[in-house]
Structure 1
Amino acid sequence: MVKSAEGFRMERLENLAASLGEDPASLASLSLDRADYIALANLLWDRFRYSDAERVLVRACETHRDFAEARRLYDRIRADRATLFQLDAKPCSERRIHLDTLSRGPIKKPGLVDLQIRGWVRRTEEEACLVVQEAGRPSRVVPLKLNRPDVVAHFRKQGCEDQQTACGFVFKADITRGLTIALRTGGHDEPLLELAAVKLQQVLVGKDDWLFLCEDTNKSEDLFTGRNPVTRQDATGWAEFVQEAAKAVDGAGAKFCMMISPSKEDVFPELHPSAPASVSLLETVKSAMVLAGTQADGPPGAGVVCPVARLRTTRANYIKTDTHWSDRGAWVCVQDILERFGLDLPEGFSPKFRNVEVVGDLGSKMHPPHSSVKKDWVRQGQSVSVVFDNKLNASGHIQIYENGASLRPERILLFGGSSSEAVAKVMADIFARVVRINSPAIMPVMDVVRAERPDIVICQTSARFLKLPAKVVESASGSALAKLTEDQMPDDWDLPSPSPAGPLDGTARRIGGRLGRALRGVRHYDR
C-alpha cells in the first residue's frame, strides 16, 4: 500500500518525537515549518510528554517571528500540565474496600498516568485477588499479598474474626479515563469500586470577566478571603529568611533585595468575586520583612520590593486571563529596584510595549479558551543576547543574558519562580549581565553567588507562596541545581564539590530571638 503525503509527514514527526526523547539536545538544530511545529507539539502532548512539547513550541517561537498559534498552544499545554484532579470513588458492592490514595490532596494531570493506588479489602476467602480494569486496556490481576494486621484488629473490634491478614494491595495505574476494581474469588468477579479523576474548576470569574485562580495547591482563594488565616509563623518565617539571606549575600560582597510579586487579587481586590480578608497575608509578611531588613545589626542595602500601589495604577500591569503580571508590571517592579539602590537610567529612556494576544494559564482552563491582551516588552536595540539557557520548564531553569551596550554596568543574580521570568527579560535591557535561576523554594544558593560574583542578588517569591518560607543553602547540592547534568550548567561556574545540603547555621540562625522580640510589635497576624 502506497503511503500518502500525510502518512509520510506523520511518520517523520513520529521519528522526530522519538529522537527528542533519546537526544533532547537535538532540539537546538530543529527547523520546521509552522504547521509541523504545531503537529509535533500536539503529538508530544497527546503522549503526556509535556516538557518536550513545551520545548518544541519555544523553539518554534525562536524560529518563526510572532508565532501566535504556538504561544497559545504553549499556554494550553502549560495549563493542562497544572490542571488538578480529585479522585472520586463510587462503591459497587456492600463489601468494604478502602483506598489510602483517596486521603491525598489534588493531583496534577501528569500524576494520573502512573498513580500508585494502595489500600485494603474486606477478605474472608482463602483464595482471592483483585482484577483491575483501566479504560481502554486489558484487565489485569493484582494479588492480595500485603499483610495488614491493623485491618484485622479493626474487624476484631467489631466482632469479626474471619478477616484475612493478607488483604492489602498496591499497584500503579493510569486513571486518566477511570478504572474499576473487582474481587475475584472461586472464578467469580465481584465489582467493588469505580474510580474516576474529577477535574477541579480552578478558575473564578470576577468583575469584567477577569479570571482568578482557585482550587490550587496553595489554596489561593482561601489566602485571599482569610479562610486560611495569617499566622505568627508566616511573619517570623519570612522575616528570618530575609535577615539570613541578606547577611549571607552581604558576606559574599553583594547587595540583597527581596521581591514579592503580588497576586492580581492583592492589587485589584475589587475585581475578585469574593471579599478580601480583613488581615492580609501579603501586607503582614511584607511588614515583617521590612522590619527584619531594618534591624540595626543587619547588612546595608537589604530591602523589600512589593510595589502594590504602583501596580494598581493600571490594569495593564496584569493579564486578564493569566495568574502572572505582564511585562509592564515587571517593569514597574524593576523601577522600584532601581530607586531602592539609587541606580539612574539615562535621561529620556522610555520603555516600549506591544499588545500581544495570549490565552494564559487561566484562560486555557475555560471552555472554550479565553484570551486577553498582554503588554509585552519590546527589546531596546540588538545588544542583548542569551548566552546560556538550559531550557528546563521547571525548577533548575537557568537563563543568562548579556548586554553589550547596557544602560547600567551592574551584574544581577535573580532567584525566583515563574514571575521572575518577565523581570529578567526587562532587566536584560538595562544591566550588563542578568542571571535568572528558577528556584523559588531554595534561594539564594551561596555557591552560585560566589561563582557568579554579582553586584545585586534578588530573591523573588509570589504572594500565594507566602505560607512556606524559602531556605538559604550553601551548596548547589541542596537546591534544584543538584539534579542538573553537566551540560545544563554554565561552563564558567566553578562550583565546589558537593557538601552536605542544608540551611545555613551559626550567626544567621541566632538572629531569631532578637527578631522574634521585635516582631511582637507587628499586630497584623492572628494568634
Structure 2
Amino acid sequence: MRILEGPFGHLFLNNDTNDTAAQFRGDRLITPEDLAAWKHYFQDLRAHADEIGIGPVFMVAPAKEEIFPDLYPVGRAEVTPVDQLMAAAEDVSLLFPAPELKVDRGLAYHRTDTHWSDYGARIAAEVYLRHVGLAEHIKSLPVNFRFSEKAGDLGRNLTPPMTEPWMRAKLSPDSVFAFDNKISNHGKIWIFQNAPAPLAETLVLFGDSFGVNLSKSLSAVFQRVVYCHTAAMWDPFVIAQEKPRYVLLEMAQRFIVQPPLDRKLWDSIAQKVSALDETERRQVRQHMTETTAGGVYAERMLACLEAADAQV
C-alpha cells in the first residue's frame, strides 16, 4: 500500500485498488453501465420498503480526502463518483454526511487511518437519527471518549509505524455485545442488545468497515442492533428473522465506483468457514454452541461448519 502524506501528519490512501486519487480528481468516474446497475440497486431498495415499516436509508461514508480537501495533495474535480451517485439516487434516502463531519473533522477522522473515528461515527449516527425522525434520541448517543496510543491502517504501514492518540467511545455497560459469528470482514454478523435503550426497536445495518463503530454508536439508541458486513447488500434471511422497522445500508465512498456486488451473505460465510483449518473450525463451533444470543444465526453457522467438515 502506497501512502500520500499531507500536512500535520495526515496520511491518505494512494495507488489503492479503487484508485482513490483518480476518483477525487475526476479521472475515474462511475461508468454508464455501472450507473445503470446502481439505479437498479436503488429500485430494489424502494421495492424492499414494503417489507419494513421505515423505508431503507443508504449512507455513503465520506472518504478522508473529502473531509480534508485542503490537506489532501490532490485537487478535487467538480464532478466525482459521489456526485454522480447522489444524482442517480432518485426517490431513495441517500445520506452523505460530509458537511457535518467537517465541523469537528480533527476529531471525526484519525490522522493515521482511512476511517472515521468513534466520534465521527457518532456524528454519522446523529445524521441518520435526524433523517428518520428520531432526533429526540440523539442525546443517548455516546458522549464520553477515552484515548490510547495506536497506529491506524495507514500508519502501521510506515517504518517505523506512526501512532497517535486513538479515540474510543465509552459505551453504556448495558450495551451488550451479544453475538459474533467469528467471521472477519465480508460475512461478519454481530448483535448488540441494550435493554434500557430508549427505542424498543431493531436496527439492521448492512455495511462495511465504516459500519463497525457506527453500529456500536447506534446501539446506545436501539435496543437491538444487527450489523452485517455485506458491503451494502440486502440480505432477506436477516430481514425475515429480525423484521426491523429500521434498515441502514452503508458503503465507503471509495467503493462506490462499482455497484454492490451480488454476493450473498451466507455464501460468503460458507466460503470463509470452508477456508478455516480444523482447529479454527473447532473454536468457532465451540463458540456457536456456547452462545445464548446467537439463535438462528448460530444454528446456521453450525450448519456451515458441518458442510465444511464433510468436504474435508
Same fold (TM over 0.5): yes
1:483 alignment partner AA = Q
Q: How does 1:426-465 map to 2 (within 5 A)?
A: 426-440=217-231, 443-465=233-255
Aligned partners of 1:347, 1:420: CA distance in 2, in Å? 18
Aligned partners of 1:265, 1:330: CA distance in 2, in Å? 17
How many corresponding residue pairs? 283
Q: How does 1:144-163 map to 2 (within 5 A)?
A: none
In 2, are the aligned partners of 1:252 and 1:450 still within 8 Å (CA)?
no
Query: Taking structure 1 as reference, are residues 287 and 373 closer, same or farther at Cα in structure 2, changes over 3 Å only?
Result: farther
Residue 492 of structure 1 is matched in structure 2 by 296
Residue 47 of structure 2 is matched in structure 1 by 247
In 2, are the aligned partners of 1:226 and 1:277 still within 8 Å (CA)?
yes
Residue 388 of structure 1 is matched in structure 2 by 179
Residue 8 of structure 2 is matched in structure 1 by 208
2:123 alignment partner AA = V
Do structure 1's residue 480 and structure 2's residue 272 form an aligned pair? no
Deviation at 1:375, TM superposition (A): 2.7
Query: Taking structure 1 as reference, are residues 462 and 211 closer, same or farther at Cα in structure 2, changes over 3 Å only?
Result: same
SS at match of 2:115: coil
Residue 343 of structure 1 is matched in structure 2 by 134
What are the Cα deviations for residues 170-202 of structure 1, in whole angstroms up to 9, with x where unaligned? xxxxxxxxxxxxxxxxxxxxxxxxxxxxxxx51
Residue 164 of structure 2 is matched in structure 1 by 372
Deviation at 1:279, TM superposition (A): 1.3
What are the Cα deviations for residues 115-160 of structure 1, in whole angstroms up to 9, with x where unaligned? xxxxxxxxxxxxxxxxxxxxxxxxxxxxxxxxxxxxxxxxxxxxxx
In 1, are the aligned partners of 2:145 and 2:170 still within 8 Å (CA)?
yes
What are the Cα deviations for residues 342-393 of structure 1, in whole angstroms up to 9, with x where unaligned? 114358657222233220010011111111233321113x211111112222
In 1, are the aligned partners of 2:2 and 2:16 still within 8 Å (CA)?
yes
What are the Cα deviations for residues 417-465 of structure 1, in whole angstroms up to 9, with x where unaligned? 1110010110111110001111116x11112211121121111111110
SS at match of 1:379: coil
What are the Cα deviations for residues 14-69 of structure 1, in whole angstroms up to 9, with x where unaligned? xxxxxxxxxxxxxxxxxxxxxxxxxxxxxxxxxxxxxxxxxxxxxxxxxxxxxxxx
Flag as ranges the 4+ runs of structure 1 deviating above 4 A: 346-350, 484-489
Deviation at 1:266, TM superposition (A): 1.2
Do structure 1's residue 330 and structure 2's residue 117 form an aligned pair? no
Query: Taking structure 1 as reference, are residues 243 and 368 closer, same or farther at Cα in structure 2, changes over 3 Å only?
Result: same
1:458 alignment partner AA = L
Do structure 1's residue 354 and structure 2's residue 176 form an aligned pair? no
Aligned partners of 2:17, 2:139: CA distance in 1, in Å? 44
Residue 298 of structure 1 is matched in structure 2 by none
Deviation at 1:246, TM superposition (A): 3.1
Aligned partners of 1:437, 1:349: CA distance in 2, in Å? 23
Aligned partners of 1:237, 1:339: CA distance in 2, in Å? 29
Q: How does 1:211-230 map to 2 (within 5 A)?
A: 211-230=11-30
**Structure with the largest fraction of strand:** 1
Deviation at 1:274, TM superposition (A): 1.5
Aligned partners of 2:86, 2:47: CA distance in 1, in Å? 18
Q: How does 1:139-288 map to 2 (within 5 A)?
A: 201-253=1-53, 255-288=55-88
In 2, are the aligned partners of 1:448 and 1:476 still within 8 Å (CA)?
no
SS at match of 2:183: coil
What are the Cα deviations for residues 193-233 of structure 1, in whole angstroms up to 9, with x where unaligned? xxxxxxxx510001222100011111111111222234334
Deviation at 1:476, TM superposition (A): 5.0
In 2, are the aligned partners of 1:234 and 1:285 still within 8 Å (CA)?
no
Deviation at 1:394, TM superposition (A): 2.3
In 1, are the aligned partners of 2:178 and 2:191 still within 8 Å (CA)?
yes
Aligned partners of 2:136, 2:51: CA distance in 1, in Å? 28
Aligned partners of 1:349, 1:416: CA distance in 2, in Å? 22
Aligned partners of 1:264, 1:451: CA distance in 2, in Å? 35
Residue 277 of structure 2 is matched in structure 1 by none
Residue 422 of structure 1 is matched in structure 2 by 213
Aligned partners of 1:270, 1:230: CA distance in 2, in Å? 24
Unaligned runs of 5+ in 1: 1-200, 294-302, 499-527
Deviation at 1:484, TM superposition (A): 6.0
Aligned partners of 2:69, 2:202: CA distance in 1, in Å? 36
What are the Cα deviations for residues 468-520 of structure 1, in whole angstroms up to 9, with x where unaligned? 111568x755x42343669587323587x99xxxxxxxxxxxxxxxxxxxxxx
Residue 308 of structure 1 is matched in structure 2 by 98
Aligned partners of 2:235, 2:171: CA distance in 1, in Å? 29
In 2, are the aligned partners of 1:320 and 1:373 still within 8 Å (CA)?
no
Unaligned runs of 5+ in 2: 274-283, 289-293, 305-312
Aligned partners of 1:482, 1:253: CA distance in 2, in Å? 31
Query: Taking structure 1 as reference, are residues 392 and 348 closer, same or farther at Cα in structure 2, changes over 3 Å only?
Result: closer
Q: CA RMSD, aligned part only?
A: 2.5
Aligned partners of 1:203, 1:250: CA distance in 2, in Å? 44
By relative contact order (CA 8 Å, sep 6+), the higher-ranking structure is 2
Aligned partners of 1:282, 1:347: CA distance in 2, in Å? 27
